[in-house]
Amino acid sequence: MPLNLSVRDVKIINGQLTLRRTVGHWKPLVLEQVNIELHDFSSTSAFPFSLSAKVRGGGAVRLDGKAGPLNAADSAMTPVTVDLNVTGLDLAPSGMNDFAPDVSGLVSFNGKGDSDGVKMLMTGALKAEHLKVAKNGSPAARVVELDFSVQHDLRTHAGTVRQGDVHLGTALAHLTGTYAEQDESMVLSMKFVGPGMPVQELEAMLPAVGVVLPTGTSLQGGTASAEFSINGQADRAVVSGSVSINNTRLVGFDISKKMSSIEKLAGIKSGPDMDIQTLSADIRSSPEGANAQDMKLVVPAIGELTGAGTVSPANELNFKMSAMVHTFGILAAIGDKPIPFTVEGTCAQPEFKPDLKAIVGDEVKGIEHGIGKAAGGLVNGFLRGKKKD
């Protein structure tokens, strides 16, 4: 039956409101110190309302808007226009990260929503502090800001991110795509595009996504570009795409010392920092680890390094690489020659080792082409360098 009721004023003061899911096992959202006001309530016309509350676990919420007329079949589908303000929402203890438990941080939000009872268009700005998005990550030192426009379907609990401008200081990237609830999961199909972003703006975000630089190092100068797709369940999403970094410097990393055996052979000399002209790779990252293919690293003081490999969830490295160095030492006798090596250890403490099996194989081929003398010098030089190391 139609609700034949009108009320001038309704006030609820210092209440508690618990919002639970009718399906699944997500943690309920508990609002405390809840104050609600409705004025000139009627089921047949729009009425103003306001809500303010504290979020158990950290944060505060403020809603102001108009709702109505009530949907007689399903009151949840009632049209509404609302201004939403959220401050200091702690994602983990509040339970708001249930769809992606690895994500944590403090979120503040200002936005507007307009719903016809079926679809809601939400626009606004979000700010995240101490953000962490990877299981093996750590909170970011930089604030992340997001300007967005999202169309959400209230019946299917799915939506489209029409605009997602991600700001990291002066670095700007774009996140767009779709999301949809499936059982107890949130399934994503998103695209991230970040062209020409200042490297130093991004450095503070690397820990949040689980990227670790060698101990005692930092990045200085240059630009980075990235283009990724993000697909699958939010807590097990697969990120794949390409990344490139140009004209940057890894301060505090002397690659010639890390590659000491190659340094002895080729006579290369480097300083306490590593200048990077280009670093590019195709990347695929999942909960099982990361994989890099078609990796290319151009270091002017050394040459060109290429290869591929994996990074485990514990940041353990397993890379097979090849260095085409600028030769001034033993290798000068046979000109520029690729030198195979491996990179093991961890991201924080990488270990560069000559790939002796590959080297011996190359030298046998060299003998067959009549350069046995130079090749023998190459192997002997490696062995001597290895003993000294």
pLDDT digits (tens, 9 = 90+) for 288-309: 999 999 999 998 877 889 999 9
Mean pLDDT of 370-388: 46
Question: CB atoms < 10 A from the CB of 193, how many?
Answer: 14
* Cα–Cα distances in angstroms (integers) from residue 232 to residues 180, 184, 251, 286, in the given order: 10, 13, 37, 10
Question: What is the predicted pLDDT for the residue at 194?
Answer: 97
* Strand pairing report for 104-115 and 171-182: unpaired
pLDDT given at position 240: 97
Report percent pLDDT > 70 for the chain: 84
Q: Average pLDDT for residues 3-28, to the nearest whole number?
A: 85
Residues 6 or more apart in contact with residue 199 via CB below 8 angstroms: 219, 220, 221, 222, 223, 224, 245, 248
Q: Give the global pTM.
A: 0.84
Let me know if residue 339 belongs to a domain: yes
**Residue at 117 is within a domain:** no
Q: pLDDT higher for 101 or 388?
A: 101
> Mean of the pLDDT values across residues 215-231?
96
Lowest model confidence (mean pLDDT) among 26-30, 58-62, 268-272: 268-272
Q: Quick check: 366 pLDDT over 70? A: no
Give domain status of residue 147, yes or no.
no
Spell out the long-range contacts of 63-72 with Cβ–Cβ below 8 A and sequence spacing 24 or more. Answer: 65/113, 68/42, 68/43, 68/44, 69/42, 69/43, 69/44, 69/45, 70/3, 70/43, 70/44, 71/117, 72/2, 72/3, 72/43
Window from 62-66, 326-330, 345-349 with minimum mean pLDDT: 326-330
The identity of residue 317, as a single letter, is: L
Taking 80 as the threshold, does the pLDDT of residue 373 lie above it? no
Query: Helices 372-388 and 356-368, interaxial angle, to 10°?
Result: 160
Confidence of residue 341 (pLDDT cuts 50, 70, 90): confident
Residue 132 near residue 142, CB atoms below 8 Å? no
Name the domain boundary from 52, 81, 110: 81
In a domain, 362, yes or no: yes
Is the confidence at residue 23, as pLDDT, over 70?
A: no
**Among 81, 110, 139, which residue terminates a domain?**
81
User: What sign has the CA pseudo-torsion 260, 261, 262, 267?
Assistant: positive
Boundary residue ending a domain (81, 105, 138): 81
For residue 132, is it within any domain? no
134 within some domain: no
Q: What's residue 354's pLDDT?
A: 79
Q: What is the pLDDT of residue 324?
A: 83
Give the chain's mean pLDDT: 86
Q: Which of 33-42, 240-249, 263-272, 352-361 has the lowest mean pLDDT?
A: 263-272
Does position 214 have pLDDT exceeding 80, yes or no? Answer: yes
User: What is the per-residue pLDDT for 269?
Assistant: 62
Structure confidence at residue 340 as a pLDDT band (50, 70, 90):
confident
What tens digit of pLDDT does each residue of 163-194 get? 999 999 999 999 999 999 888 789 999 999 99
Q: What is the domain count for the chain?
A: 2
User: Where do the H-state alpha helices sit in 199-276?
Assistant: 199-203, 255-258, 260-266
Share of the chain above pLDDT 90, in %: 63
- Note whether residue 381 is domain-resident: yes
More confident residue, 163 or 384: 163
Taking 70 as the threshold, does the pLDDT of residue 57 lie above it? yes
- Domain span at residue 372 reads 254-274+288-389
Query: What is the token pair recorded at 115?
Result: 């719903």
User: Residue 161: is its pLDDT beyond 50?
Assistant: yes
Structural domain includes residue 329: yes
